[in-house]
Chain A
Amino acid sequence: MSERRDAVLVLGALGAGAAVPAIGSDYWTGFAITALMWIALAQSWSVFSGLSGYVSFGHVVFYGLGAYLVVATWDRLSPALSVPLAALAAAAFALAIGAPVLRVRGPYFVILSFGIAELVKFVVIAAEAAAGHASRLILRTPDLAALFYLMLALAAAATALAWAVRSTRLGHGLRAIREDEVAAETIGVPVARYKLAALALSAAVPGAVGGTMAMRATYFEPLQAFDPMVSFTMIAMAVIGGSDDLRGPVLGALVLVYLSELLWAGAPQLYMVILGALVLGFALFVPGGLCGRAGARRARPA
């Protein structure tokens, strides 16, 4: 099946990327960590939003909570413990907010997801201020190569998760929910349970990614850890690449990471303009993204 071929392709490419720290400079290893981070985030986002059609504008909340957990427990827990814990905490938070939040659809869900992420950001800022921190530094973080392999594992995990969800009943049910929730429910899809499960699964990897990036940055600052741009960027990547395709988020992440690397230093404003134009263009004219099948299927003679 083509789904399996895509999974082998993506996981194979990630496997080949494992050579980067051995052959590349620290610059390239750092660049690869950034690329892998976005692959993991965009792939995770598409597990929930790409399949269910519930567009989350607040996935950064899972990333930020993961970062916060790892940093806040830095002196007490080893990363071997705190990073998996960050994934669990993000999934648990998704379960807790999911039940009420997933009752609303469409633009209301978009706004609500964004609002929750902002709310949590300000709660963390307030909590940090009350504890006497504006930001936190962490010392003795793992070296660059270790962080690279951790991020590689997270990108692979997100891809494997996306593949697993897509090839089981959960994936079929989520697609049915995306297309028509009433019809899905009427053929027997347990819609509330499936949406909640997908949100929790989709939150776990971003939690671990946030924790890993906190170690890379060696500091934690809530405005950055909960920056809405993180949510927007993963959406842009998934949309440009194709959010209902295993390769899509990977391709979208690579395109935008490369673009940002080209433009960030010289013309950061131009990067934002191009990003906005790309998202608009794809959403309007290529809704299936670069890997989209919608266009291809329609073009195929009946």
Chain B
Amino acid sequence: MSLLELVAVSKRYGGVLALDQVSFTVEAGTIVGVMGANGAGKTTLFALIAGNERPSGGEVRFAGRSLAGLRPDQIARRGVARTFQVVRPFAGLSVRENVLAGALFGTRAFASAALARRAADAIVEEAGLGGQADRLAGTLTLSGQKRLEVARAIATGARLVMLDEVMAGLLPAEVDEMLATLHALQRARGLTLLVIEHVMQALMRLSQRIVVLHLGALIAQGSPEEVAADPEVQRLYFGETA
């Protein structure tokens, strides 16, 4: 059984069809990349899965159960977490408290506050934020805030973590560090990742499978090599002559 299943999911904003009957599945423990130009519907897809927005049609199923009608907090407790493309840290709280909030809510029930704290602190370290644990989240650099988004999402204990452009705007060296961090976090926890990324190289290196959205429709999916060789993708990304 697939961990995540999208069945003909659509989203309409007034006259605009942001997502048009998108169907695909994500197997547990894999890393799946979501590719597509601006306006392809990638972030809308995340919002629908996480419950921030309601689909206009179709169904999202997680671990065999429908998520239809659930609020974001209920979906989070089922084991789905996401980061935000435009970061949304709890700016007035420390890095440690941001991650602790993820641990206290989400899917895990800790026997004591001390255990939750310990788990959160461990994730702060793993995410490479150990030196900044007591700083207010709002004072971190963009790179730090992107790491914090990842740490907070993972702290919820989610099985599916959706990463929305966590490498956008980072320096090449920072991208490499982030890739290493993501791989380590994913392997240590057996996480399933759904990743939106504009840094194409990074997406190809990270993902086992890629789905390609174009103007709200799913136009290709497969391994990074298959997708790169797909004629439709070639036409859209590299021009007609390729």
A residues near B (Cβ < 8 Å) are 167, 169, 172-173, 175-176, 178-180, 182-191, 294, 297-298, 300, 302
Contact = CB atoms under 8 A, between A and B. Distances in A.
Interface string B119-148: 000000000000110111001000000000
Contact of A188 (B77, B84, B94, B134): B77
Given A182-B52, A183-B84, A186-B81, A173 B136 contact: no
B165 interface: no
The 6 closest A-B pairs by CB, nearest first: A188-B76, A188-B105, A179-B90, A183-B88, A185-B72, A188-B106
Contacts of A183: 84, 88-90, 152
Contact of B90 (A167, A180, A300): A180
Which applies to chain A's interface (DSSP): helix, strand, loop or mixed? helix
Contacts of B197: none
B203 interface: no
Given A185-B76, A186-B76, A190-B71, 20 more contacts: A167-B113, A172-B104, A172-B105, A173-B105, A176-B101, A179-B90, A179-B91, A180-B89, A180-B90, A182-B52, A184-B101, A185-B52, A186-B50, A186-B81, A187-B101, A187-B102, A188-B73, A188-B106, A191-B73, A297-B134
A281 B107 CA distance: 42
B106 A187 contact: yes
B82 interface: yes
21 contacts: A169-B104, A172-B100, A173-B104, A173-B105, A175-B101, A176-B93, A176-B101, A179-B91, A183-B90, A183-B152, A184-B101, A185-B71, A185-B73, A186-B73, A186-B76, A187-B81, A187-B156, A188-B105, A298-B139, A302-B135, A302-B139
A182 B88 contact: yes
A86 B152 CA distance: 41
Given A172-B100, A186-B76, A294 B106 contact: no
B5 interface: no
B88 to A, nearest CB: 4
Contacts of A178: 92
B67 to A, nearest CB: 13
A292 B186 CA distance: 38
A179 B82 contact: no
A188 B136 contact: no
A188 B92 contact: no
A302 B156 contact: no
Nearest to A185: B72
Contacts of B156: 187-188
B73 A179 contact: no
Contacts of A167: 113
B182 interface: no
Contact of B82 (A186, A294, A297): A186
Contacts of B73: 185-186, 188-191
B228 to A, nearest CB: 32
Contact of A187 (B91, B132, B134, B153): B153
Q: Which of B100, B104, B134, B135 has the most CB of A within 10 A?
A: B104
